[in-house]
Structure 1
């Protein structure tokens, strides 16, 4: 359509800037090139991808519907699509009006339908392929979310055949979860580990026959128990014509490898993948199958230093060794490095890069020839990296609250040699800051943690609220307990059905706590009393319809709980209830509805059909929440209120940036206790490495070459690299005095290398406040 020179001229004129030299090589590469783009934090990888997509259409005449672009999350995919459309419409509009071009070029630009570019996550892509390009006569699969998957996994994977009670099965799950004790060992924990193992069996393409063919009778029993749990879950999914996300990917790959989906493959001319460092083996093979259809026209963008989702089966070596992986397909991958960080101040970038180069052994697993991060000439130096150390967590929380208040509601934080740090008086708010932690839980083992203490200090002394819906286990939240108890009272007022159905003892105990919380909520009882009494007497009323939606009951009760209606955290809790009820609707024979009348027939336990409709709600709606198998996950939190301080896990902060980023690097490290070494200086593998060691010998990848402990160190360095690189202007590290880098508590977040040396002890790269 147009030349490369005309493309970059239009880019400058329509968008107001030209790509830098680093991105230019990736954007301008030939349409059939295999590109390996290593993009550090803040280097503009979304801009690079969007510009390359537009170049493929405008310069190389690749049809828009022949371009497939995926990224890791739905939000990131929406951002990429928005960028492509915005820039695309502006550039085609500029080209259509450019009198320097021929009429044919202007007409071609004007008629280009950019909307046809295929963008999304790998899961949405696979789902679309299976739906739109299925064989004649095949039923389209129903793709279930995490709530439905976890509900079925509980029922068919754990509870069926009494697997949840098997001590020998527990031993295997504990090994996979890298758990040394049974503290906190419950159904929810077991379900999480079983779910991760079930996903990894698919993601790593485990040969289950070889996996179960071990000589040890005891080990074979445990592995067969695991496989039977996974198969029972998968069978139930299949009977319902359902697929979870790992099985959507597996089915798409099976179809591609068998020569299916040819109609779709004939369209594909170029494949672009963002966040490739979090790819697993199944996903890699899907991308390779698509790339084969277009002669290796595959562009991957990522950063091995930011591979955070290892616990979800991501295999970082697929990115760091991309050149070796593609050479086996006959493609020569061209490495391109994006090293200029446009996000952060110069001092933050220097600190982040220094941290990445700190540990000598870590350098051996990074992408080869990786250049240092740098800032553009226009970047300001910014304030120095700051650190706050205090003797106790309580003192740390109080003083940190004071700093936050000073920056956002006071005269600013004075830094010697720099000046004052304060919010933008016109547009700034406390939502411009964030506290990043390894876990956002507000209590740990019954002891108040920094997120909880900070919440108290801010609200008590400064009238600033935090936003931390993941601060407590969902079933322990006060307003959740009231709502749960009200639902139980309405559905099963005399506990007759609860007594007659299968529930674990901890679930029954939580149900009792919920009922008690509702009884003690006098204002709620007064306001919602009429609804509760009406539901209690429904079987004696002729005014009730035969079937009533439990969703209607949920929202009727929540209307009398202002914390669920008006509070941002409460709205997340209510959404979790709604999602779990939706899951119950999909797995229950009653579709989440309550039968209000009975024909008089009962089963052996004395339950009528109406009772069974309530039983399903107890088992598949409220039961999983009470058991701890349902919690607030990242997908439920789409945005953060601007008037609150967000408290996030480091994983949750991936892809975000904050003008002021506070990173908890040791608020709970009072002593050199082994119990928290996995968070600071590992001496044994964590769950991610334990599962790799367990399953990888039976996969095409083979057993890992590095020890589990070394891989645990690698992942911990990556975690804090991501945390530190979220800062735009100010980076503040917070910890106890006991965790100083010149102390006895080894901590990779405080400059310790795995060889036991503390690189920051003599020369700390921060200024204390």
Structure 2
């Protein structure tokens, strides 16, 4: 790819550089080329090990490493040393960098040397557990201010980012007063200089009348107030403001006295304009300190003391359990880098540092980078775009990027802005620039050389005007219906779009369209349903939690019923689910009997319930000797649950969520005890833990996604609906301000503290600014055409309201579908000689974008095995022959792994992780675990081990993402523990290769604990086979591969290939 002049300036910049990379401007290519430039300029004197590349997700880090690996290999194919060093280089997330600092300098970090890392899920659950105990140490007087139900969410919020929280609580408590006074003066100045104010004052100042009347008196009063209000020397301006906004407008003013009726009317209107303009700013300009602020000041110190008490208690428990969450890693890194010796160590090790998506950096991460940066020895490349900063709720702050730009300039660095877009055509970009120039500040316009594929307006707006009696939900249904009609029109005409692979125009397909919404709820319940009914294939993608999906609720109901059969709500949920499909009318009739449904199931038996009762009774009998996973699989087979899902709208989404939930169950330590599993499930819900839904490839279907989830993606046509939805508001007990600290809401008072009201005002301003940036992200996902839709509304602070100045400047006129006017579609098809590049509208084939390593290993071993286990959810026909080669291998293996992970030596310590029916396995599990701790054959790996239970992520070239956890990791190897009766290393080659590749380790080994045997596994030839297998999986190839493993397969009695073999 040939670099633009702007890209070349950034790539070849001498010294540090901060790059503002607008949407679609080729920032990833810039990063890889800048990396090559450093290697080329330094030649033999630099190593990839001296270059750090940081980003914010494991997936992004893997993509960057892949691009850099490919770029280095293409430019220097003979530099095998550099290629090897790229694999070992620090190309990672910030959290991985922090973990490295904490492991290499545990004493300086104040952390144990052998800590384990709690991922998001485990960390939230662990914190929920220990917070209850920590709160018992609070001074009882704390609860005079707030009750337990208010203290707990407050402390949870503070613990989400302890470094920031400590800094905010330490802010000078009265600093907000000066900031408020300055903000009010600034706003008054903006009002005075605004065009509408100036025009009104000019009209009133030039007015003349024959005789004084009520209108002339009002005009003179307003002009006097205006002079007083904007006088910088007037310290009592708020008294004038209060009088001004309370002004009762007169209706006086005769035509005879004022020259004409129109003149009098104009002057009355201008009086109203001035008063209303001030009223619009009442939430800021009316604020003044009051008695509640004294109370606020006193309570802030109490919160600080309470937080320190709880934090100290939790830190002590973490040291005892030798575990850290992601926040602890950042805190430990900050603490370690306070040591001059530690800073010097890394400043000598690293010469170049890249940070991608820098607009997502939080203040703590900025502090870490600040400690690492020595301008004389470390060259920075920071790439981001303030206009795409949309993660304020995660702590990201736009001010961080601005501060770093200033620092880099002060040290003779460079500031470069990329403005050439390779995504969007010129006409659409010009319109986007017009919309956001008055909306975002600062705003850097983008440009493009590509011409549009049609003469249509590039941004179109569709407004639905519902009936007065219609609810918001009904208005959304009308809006969704209009969207469906428009999509069908585009497909039938057809609309032309730009095809990037072929570099030419082609007719649109369903897969070229995305509907991006700010909130997830209406995507599935409204837009997806309406489009499905219209025969349009859709796929809901990106974001959301498995626990909050339809299949998640069904699975929870099944677990609830199996543990508590008397739970009528769980039973009703099951009966009306796709498993049984009973109607609400049938359930209502049953409910009228007024008795417990299950306990009285045999009274007046209803044929409609008979089949369900029989199946559920069988499951209840099996619950005493089957694992929860087996029970769920038996439920699926008995009811045809997943088969029904396959016939429903959005089948691909439902089936993917169902399979992901089965995988989740399979991987949980509690998966062998129903009650423990249900308790764990509810703990996840209470902690609001998000279990990510698998990402799917849309194929030829319209993608439905949140605006946040769409970042990094693009489509020819984008639709942004629901633009008049109001933001949710709530009276928060505590408000945090990144500059001013903390303010509390005082209970049972009429007027809240000015500090609290000012913080609330600033929070709303920040949220509105982020909503504007979020809309910018949505607009810039479109390559060819953008459609905005909404019910007609004038809600303040809605997305449409925030965009109003820009839409007006761009002269975007809303189209009313009720008027009979349709959005025109113009298409000129390619000539007969030109190929058509469009996708078939055939049914969507099942696809997997993410799999556990063990699941993919099953596919690698036998696609039919994978199909039975993961696609169909078949529990397997365990009949003795196919039961495997060890006694209850999953249970025993889980216990052994837990004993090794937590260094458990006593039976009592292992019991909490073991179901009641498996207690007899504890002695055997401890004996196998002790083998690794004591046998000489393992001494070398024991001594060289650096990490245990490392979460990993590997993306294959096909796009398939593999996830798993490596048991033990050394400097150049990974190791997995096995408890098999007979060592069969060929069954685990893919698994070990995936672990090694994901963690950039060249060697892999298996410790066979039953045999005191350590095998180093050959993995060199696996990558090509794995890539081929991933392609076959994407194509839906589930043909069996008969072999020796068939004799141990639990599906042998139902597999045709086995019988033929």
TM-score (norm. length: structure 2): 0.52
Q: Does the alignment pair 1:130 with 2:102?
A: yes
Q: Secondary structure at the match of 1:648?
A: strand
Q: Does the alignment pair 1:307 with 2:389?
A: yes
Q: Secondary structure at the match of 2:719?
A: strand
Q: CA deviation at 1:402?
A: 1.8
Matches within 5 A, 1:413-424: none
Matches within 5 A, 1:680-759: 690-692=736-738, 695=741, 707-736=762-791, 738-739=792-793, 744-746=794-796, 749-750=799-800, 752=802, 758=805
- The question of whether the paired residues in 2 share the 8 Å contact of 1:172 and 1:222 is answered with no
Partner of residue 149, structure 1: 123
Question: Which one is further off, 432-441 or 398-407?
Answer: 398-407
Q: Aligned equivalents of 2:488 and 2:703: distance in 1? A: 14
- The question of whether the paired residues in 2 share the 8 Å contact of 1:26 and 1:35 is answered with yes
Partner of residue 503, structure 1: none
Q: Aligned equivalents of 1:534 and 1:22: distance in 2? A: 70
Partner of residue 337, structure 2: 256
Partner of residue 244, structure 1: 325
Q: In structure 1, list runs of 5 or more residues that go unmatched.
A: 1-16, 97-106, 175-189, 443-449, 496-510, 539-543, 586-590, 596-613, 669-675
- The question of whether the paired residues in 2 share the 8 Å contact of 1:69 and 1:271 is answered with yes
Q: CA deviation at 1:459?
A: 1.4
Partner of residue 663, structure 1: 720
Q: Does the alignment pair 1:518 with 2:518?
A: no
Match of 2:158 among 197, 203, 218: 197
Partner of residue 462, structure 2: 388
Q: Secondary structure at the match of 2:53?
A: strand
Q: Does the alignment pair 1:630 with 2:689?
A: yes
Q: CA deviation at 1:355?
A: 2.7
Q: Aligned equivalents of 1:457 and 1:336: distance in 2? A: 46
Q: Does the alignment pair 1:72 with 2:56?
A: yes
Match of 1:83 among 57, 60, 67: 67
- The question of whether the paired residues in 2 share the 8 Å contact of 1:169 and 1:226 is answered with no
Q: Secondary structure at the match of 2:741?
A: helix
Q: Secondary structure at the match of 1:120?
A: strand
Q: Does the alignment pair 1:537 with 2:624?
A: yes
Q: Aligned equivalents of 1:219 and 1:426: distance in 2? A: 62
Q: CA deviation at 1:51?
A: 0.5
Q: Secondary structure at the match of 2:373?
A: helix
Q: Does the alignment pair 1:592 with 2:670?
A: yes
Matches within 5 A, 1:158-307: 169=146, 195-203=156-164, 206=167, 218=299, 220-221=301-302, 224-225=305-306, 233-258=314-339, 259-260=341-342, 265-292=347-374, 295-307=377-389
Per-residue deviation, residues 689-742 of structure 1 (Å, max 9, x unmatched):
8453663799xxxx9999434323322221111111111111111111x23xxx
Per-residue deviation, residues 256-288 of structure 1 (Å, max 9, x unmatched):
222337665532110000111111111112222
- The question of whether the paired residues in 1 share the 8 Å contact of 2:343 and 2:372 is answered with no
- The question of whether the paired residues in 1 share the 8 Å contact of 2:723 and 2:798 is answered with no
Q: Aligned equivalents of 1:243 and 1:194: distance in 2? A: 18
Q: Does the alignment pair 1:351 with 2:431?
A: yes
Cα gap change, 1:381/1:232 in structure 2, threshold over 3 Å: closer, same or farther? farther
Cα gap change, 1:459/1:593 in structure 2, threshold over 3 Å: closer, same or farther? closer
Match of 2:510 among 430, 446, 449: 430
Q: CA deviation at 1:489?
A: 3.7
Q: Aligned equivalents of 2:734 and 2:146: distance in 1? A: 19
Cα gap change, 1:269/1:469 in structure 2, threshold over 3 Å: closer, same or farther? closer
- The question of whether the paired residues in 1 share the 8 Å contact of 2:435 and 2:807 is answered with no
Per-residue deviation, residues 2-24 of structure 1 (Å, max 9, x unmatched):
xxxxxxxxxxxxxxx32110010
Q: Aligned equivalents of 1:653 and 1:171: distance in 2? A: 38
- The question of whether the paired residues in 2 share the 8 Å contact of 1:439 and 1:649 is answered with yes
Aligned length: 622
Q: Does the alignment pair 1:483 with 2:569?
A: no
Q: CA deviation at 1:648?
A: 1.9
Q: Does the alignment pair 1:140 with 2:114?
A: yes
Partner of residue 456, structure 1: 529
Per-residue deviation, residues 274-328 of structure 1 (Å, max 9, x unmatched):
111111111112222332287241111111111101111111101023233457x
Q: Secondary structure at the match of 1:642?
A: coil
Q: In structure 2, list runs of 5 or more residues that go unmatched.
A: 175-294, 466-474, 581-611, 745-757, 816-822, 824-1061
Per-residue deviation, residues 743-763 of structure 1 (Å, max 9, x unmatched):
x4445743657xxx7453486
Cα gap change, 1:287/1:218 in structure 2, threshold over 3 Å: closer, same or farther? closer
Q: Aligned equivalents of 2:454 and 2:313: distance in 1? A: 58
Per-residue deviation, residues 372-416 of structure 1 (Å, max 9, x unmatched):
2111367768742111111232221111012223334x332599x
Q: Aligned equivalents of 1:527 and 1:80: distance in 2? A: 55
Instruction: Let me know the Cα RMSD of the aligned residues.
Output: 4.4
Cα gap change, 1:342/1:438 in structure 2, threshold over 3 Å: closer, same or farther? same
Cα gap change, 1:719/1:521 in structure 2, threshold over 3 Å: closer, same or farther? closer
Q: Aligned equivalents of 2:690 and 2:676: distance in 1? A: 20
Q: Aligned equivalents of 2:631 and 2:93: distance in 1? A: 35
Match of 2:36 among 54, 74, 78: 54
Q: Does the alignment pair 1:45 with 2:101?
A: no
Matches within 5 A, 1:487-636: 487-490=559-562, 492-493=563-564, 513-519=569-575, 523=579, 529=616, 532-538=619-625, 561-562=641-642, 567-572=652-657, 575=660, 591-592=669-670, 594=672, 616-625=676-685, 627=686, 629-633=688-692, 636=693
Q: Aligned equivalents of 1:467 and 1:527: distance in 2? A: 35
Q: CA deviation at 1:568?
A: 2.6
- The question of whether the paired residues in 2 share the 8 Å contact of 1:92 and 1:109 is answered with no
Q: CA deviation at 1:117?
A: 3.8
Cα gap change, 1:319/1:293 in structure 2, threshold over 3 Å: closer, same or farther? closer
Q: Aligned equivalents of 2:657 and 2:123: distance in 1? A: 20
- The question of whether the paired residues in 1 share the 8 Å contact of 2:516 and 2:710 is answered with yes
Q: Does the alignment pair 1:765 with 2:812?
A: yes
Per-residue deviation, residues 446-484 of structure 1 (Å, max 9, x unmatched):
xxxx6522222211121423315867x865644323311
Per-residue deviation, residues 17-45 of structure 1 (Å, max 9, x unmatched):
32110010111123xx1211111111111
Q: Aligned equivalents of 1:301 and 1:323: distance in 2? A: 10
Q: Aligned equivalents of 1:393 and 1:171: distance in 2? A: 39
Cα gap change, 1:403/1:225 in structure 2, threshold over 3 Å: closer, same or farther? farther
Q: Aligned equivalents of 1:228 and 1:405: distance in 2? A: 61
Q: Secondary structure at the match of 1:47?
A: helix
Q: CA deviation at 1:528?
A: 6.3
Q: CA deviation at 1:616?
A: 4.1
Q: Aligned equivalents of 1:230 and 1:512: distance in 2? A: 42
- The question of whether the paired residues in 2 share the 8 Å contact of 1:205 and 1:281 is answered with no
